[in-house]
């Protein structure tokens, strides 16, 4: 087994460990567990980065060198990496165990799905002609950074809606986290859609062709535009905006998963 597969396997186990550490912390509330958790998160992220880098290097050894952002497996790994990266980058704002718990759970699910699901091709594949473009990197990277920020807004929105008083960050904090993540996520999503359109024009001769993936990304984009307008122009707050951000993330998941498996189009990675 290649080294990057092993390392990413260990990373998955670390995210699982992080999940258990959180549950232990919730039961005991010991300060010590908290600092152990922080350490585990940094180590997991570091190894995660190493795993991706090794995969990148390995692709060059195989003479088909390309950034590991070219198939579904690689996108799942990168998505999990973005979520944890954002968690670390914004650690001051996001230092709430409930949020880190959910974020690392999502990372665990993504990594687990990537390694266990038989429908996910794990090998390094050469780039088919359609993907041989520099736009690939910027397009995929911006999309997944956006998805990561929107996952965090989803977590905040969910907690706002279902949270009990005792263990939550305050509702104001949740609302703030929700809005701030959308401020990162929305421009990134816009960049993802726009770079995708430029690339499509370059590869296929049309910047917009209503392919299901394009269409769902537009739907997602509109939902978050509605979030921003509801907030700024109509003064919606609290529950109403939390609901929009949850719906928005459902739309992200449809764009990412459902479209890949059910609605095929230009974007199925294989063609």
Partner 1 sequence: MLQKEEALQLNVMNVIKNNRKTTEPKQKKGIAETLFDLFISKRLSMLILALIAAGSILGTIIKQGANESEYLTVYSEATYRIINIFGLDDAYHSLWFKALIVLFAINLTLCTAQGLIRFIKEKRQTDIPEFDRLSKMELNLRVDNERKEKAIGVLKKFYRLIRDENRGLILEKGIPSRLGVFIIHGSIITVLVGSFIGLVFGFKGFLILRVGETKDHVTARGGHQDMITLGFALKCKDFKASYYPEGQPKDYVSTVEVIEGGTIVKEKDIRVNDPLYHKGIRFYQSSYGKKTSFLFHVADEAVALTEQEPFQKKGLALMVVRFAEEIHNLGPGVQIAYLEGDRPQSRWFLLNVEKMKSQVIGGVAVRFDEIREESYTGIEVARDPGVFVVWTGFALMLLGLYVNFFTYYRRVYVVSAADGIIVAGYALKNKEAFKKEFEKLKEDIYGSTP
Q: Which is nearer to partner 1, 84 or 246 (CB)?
A: 246
Contact (Cβ atoms closer than 8 angstroms) between residue 246 and residue 194:
no
According to CB under 8 A, which one of 216, 241, 246, 260 is a site residue for partner 1? 216
Least distance between partner 1 and beta carbon 107 (Å): 26
Q: Residue 15 binds which one of ligand HEM, partner 1, none, with CB within 5 to 8 A depending on kind?
A: none
Closest CA to 26 of 118, 123, 97: 97
Residues 6+ positions from 97 with CB-CB distance below 8 Å: 22, 25, 26, 34, 37
Dist. CA 265–CA 92, nearest whole Å: 41
Question: Residue 113 is inside which H or E element, if any?
Answer: helix 97-116
Minimum CB distance to ligand HEM, residue 265 (Å): 22
In the bound state with partner 1, the residue whose beta carbon lies nearer, of 156 and 211, is 211
Q: Toward partner 1, which CB reaches closer, 74 or 125?
A: 125
Nearer to ligand HEM, 122 or 180 (CB): 180
228 binds ligand HEM (CB under 6 A): yes
Binding mask 198-227 for ligand HEM (x = CB under 6 A): ------------------------x--x--
Nearest to 258 by CA among 214, 221, 213: 213
Could you say whether residue 233 binds ligand HEM (CB under 6 A)? yes
CB-nearer residue toward ligand HEM: 104 or 142: 142
Q: Which tokens sit at 267? A: 């974007």
Taking CB under 6 A as the rule, does residue 235 contact ligand HEM? no
Which string of b and e fits 220-255 if b means at least 16 CB within 10 Å? Answer: bbebbebbeebbeeeebeeeebbbbbbbbbebbbbb
Rounded distance, CA 233 to CA 212, Å? Answer: 30
- When the beta carbons of 25 and 249 are compared against ligand HEM, the nearer one is 249
- Could you tell me the sign of the dihedral formed by the alpha carbons of 203, 206, 207, 209, in that order? negative
Among 6, 30, 234, 239, binds partner 1 (CB under 8 A): 234
| Residue 224 or 249 having the CB closest to ligand HEM | 224
**Residue 218 interaction partner, one of partner 1, ligand HEM, none, beta carbon < 5-8 Å per kind:** partner 1
Alpha-carbon span 229 to 235, nearest angstrom: 8
Q: What is the DSSP string of 173-241?
A: HHHHHHHHHHHHHHHHHHHHHHHHHHHHHHHHS-S----HHHHHHHHHHHHHHHHHHHHHTS---THHH
Please work out the total of residues on this chain that contact partner 1, with binding judged by CB under 8 A: 41
Residues near partner 1, by CB under 8 A: 64, 125-126, 128-130, 132-133, 183, 186-187, 190-191, 194, 197-198, 201-208, 210, 212, 215-216, 218-219, 222-223, 225-226, 229-230, 232-234, 259, 263
Give residues in contact with ligand HEM (CB under 6 A). Answer: 222, 225, 228-229, 231-233
């Amino acid at each position: 087994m290649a080294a990057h597969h092993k390392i990413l396997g260990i990373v998955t186990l670390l995210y699982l460990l992080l999940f258990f550490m959180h549950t232990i912390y919730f039961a005991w509330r010991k300060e010590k567990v908290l600092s152990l958790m922080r350490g585990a998160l940094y180590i997991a992220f570091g190894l995660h980065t190493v795993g991706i880098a090794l995969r990148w290097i390995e692709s060059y050894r195989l003479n088909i060198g390309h950034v590991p952002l070219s198939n579904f497996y690689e996108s799942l790994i990168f998505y999990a990496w973005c979520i944890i990266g954002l968690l670390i980058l914004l650690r001051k704002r996001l230092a709430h165990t409930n949020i880190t718990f959910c974020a690392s759970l999502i990372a665990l699910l993504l990594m687990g799905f990537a390694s266990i699901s038989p429908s996910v091709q794990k090998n390094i594949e050469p780039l088919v002609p359609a993907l041989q473009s520099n736009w690939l990197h910027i397009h995929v990277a911006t999309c997944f950074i956006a998805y990561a920020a929107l996952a965090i807004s989803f977590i905040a929105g969910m907690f706002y809606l279902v949270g009990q008083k005792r263990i939550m960050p305050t509702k104001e904090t949740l609302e703030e986290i929700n809005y701030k993540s959308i401020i990162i996520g929305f421009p990134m999503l816009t960049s993802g859609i726009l770079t995708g359109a430029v690339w499509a024009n370059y590869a296929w001769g049309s910047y917009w062709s209503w392919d299901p993936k394009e269409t769902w990304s537009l739907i997602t984009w509109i939902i978050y535009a509605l979030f921003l307008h509801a907030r700024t122009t109509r003064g919606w707050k609290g529950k109403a905006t939390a609901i929009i951000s949850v719906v928005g993330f459902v739309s992200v998941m449809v764009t990412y998963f459902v479209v890949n498996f059910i609605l095929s189009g230009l974007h199925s990675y294989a063609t």
